[in-house]
Structure 1
């Protein structure tokens, strides 16, 4: 029977849901709402756009033609502001540029009724609560528009300060350095990537960044952004003043859950879902960076905001909206990044604890670490030589007994041949 399906968000999870729905259901009406003015694009590549490595058109993940071909009503510049589960309705507003200053037009709300709803609302940058944060020249770094806004300032700037040393902050710093700016990264913790990887690998990345002209200021925080209108400098918590014209706020992201704040939909770190990607309201699903799913290494729910997870969760949500009962097999924390030809991959649990055994080894600029629980691999960190990282991921996800190969895990050339006999024959082709 034909249904009306509303999807809030047109990134990885939303687009994958459309694909899955249309494979089974050609008739139901699908409406996709996006608060951006761009068709679906690959968010994880915007740092390359900032760095000048790729042009804007290369970011596009699914063009408007994709939605037309799949008979999907795509509503760009349409911000969902409220979900009413009792009425099965989404309330939204038009935020397109030509109406941005038209208060009367903005007050006229749009309504979209649904039989099934997918919340793929993603996440937004956290802006620190400090004096001057609203000044012209302060940016988040999450969207194409953020990047275009930053690039407009780059030609008028010579120094940028990045607040935060996580993945977003370092990607922004790298891109700005590639554009010729003097870049300083200011972080409260003693090393970069403290929420992503272990200390040794972080130090290797930090060393490479410093060698390439990015200054890392650790153990410090910004207390104020200075300037009359435009930014002139930032003031640190030790009263030191650093001149700059651009500030990037990169203190992490938060799942976009505001639109369900007045509903009974359960929210913890993100929107709580079951193994079918359903919320506690049967016809409402959640997927992607906003969803809290079961983490297979932590053995508890967690938000693992990664593009591949969003794709998988979107596919399962879409299939189940169309009548299937497919279970999501869980997520795990995993990050992959490269700065100045030095790649890093971290996955699963990367910090030591009393419950885990850790093995590690450094080979020149290469580094490898594994975290073991009993006879099972639960985490790994690779720097430099990241070949066969998929092998480590396979061992973690499938909870394979590693007792026979434990003494080989740190070998420089450890790879598929070492685990061949431990996995099913039909799966071998997919492991690299």
Structure 2
């Protein structure tokens, strides 16, 4: 198996200012191509460190991928670090220079002179197209090694990685791997792993788990298409209650939207602790106006009363974070906007606001349909953003289950919540 080392470049990563999502993306793409990532390093924005990092990586792998440090400022030293390692000069690439000039010209912006720094490449290096920004990717062969430089902004990195994939497939004559994806929601990674451990899959099938706050993606791959087909059949039955999509880029919001559109049904939401996060996820899907009528961020009790029609006595007796208020929020926004379904969320996202009786992480999620209004109680863990994200995912999971299975009170939920 071919080995790869990934180098992340940036002082901002080492200082904890940003999370390095580029590594996760690149590592997963290489895995799906059948390549092994043997190491990952993070280095500061200095020529010396970058040169040393490439030298170290070259001892361990034939594929070296760097991301970050290709901008036009003084601290963007990745090009210089590579040139130093290769013992070559940086030379102006006229085609790249013209592309950078055209990039600014199309936007009627005067180009800062220092942007032309991005057109300087080590002698013998090949630029890789960047359709999302001005910094080209850089590819160079060095002895038996292949070295790739990718820009740091994730959108640009992903665009340039398309060229990396093509080059690797050509240079290594990679045979297409057979793989399949299962995107699940509402069930923890540990439980899925336990289930899969209880069944017998073909020996050549490799299983990988990618959990997030919104669900768990499961990837299986093999050199054998027959083995993948066999594994797919087994896992499809085992995970049928929790798999909402089989395509890599499909989101639960999109799946729900397509079902609503096909049935000519609509959705509205009422949010308190999630503060519009649920609505934002829904409208992230192009064409959501076909079925999404709108939402109310009823953060204050007065908004719950005046806009959603929550009973003031109910609020006084049970509090804003309660089954009764969640239920009235869902019914209120459904009636107010005239939707087929509605989701309401109220809870304590923290880090303040919790009490012994109502701790941080207590969340009530309500789904109102034509036949019934349901409420589930959750005690979620994590920081403020994690609790809000998990709350929104719980609401989407409830709606998806209702749309797919109908009778959700007998659905085998594994998300830690309970009907109340």
Name the TM-score, length of structure 1 as normaliser: 0.29
Judging by fraction of residues, say which structure has more helix. 2
Judging by fraction of residues, say which structure has more strand. 1
Name the TM-score, length of structure 2 as normaliser: 0.30
Indicate the structure (1 or 2) with the bigger Cα radius of gyration: 2
Greater relative contact order (Cα < 8 A, sep 6+)? 1
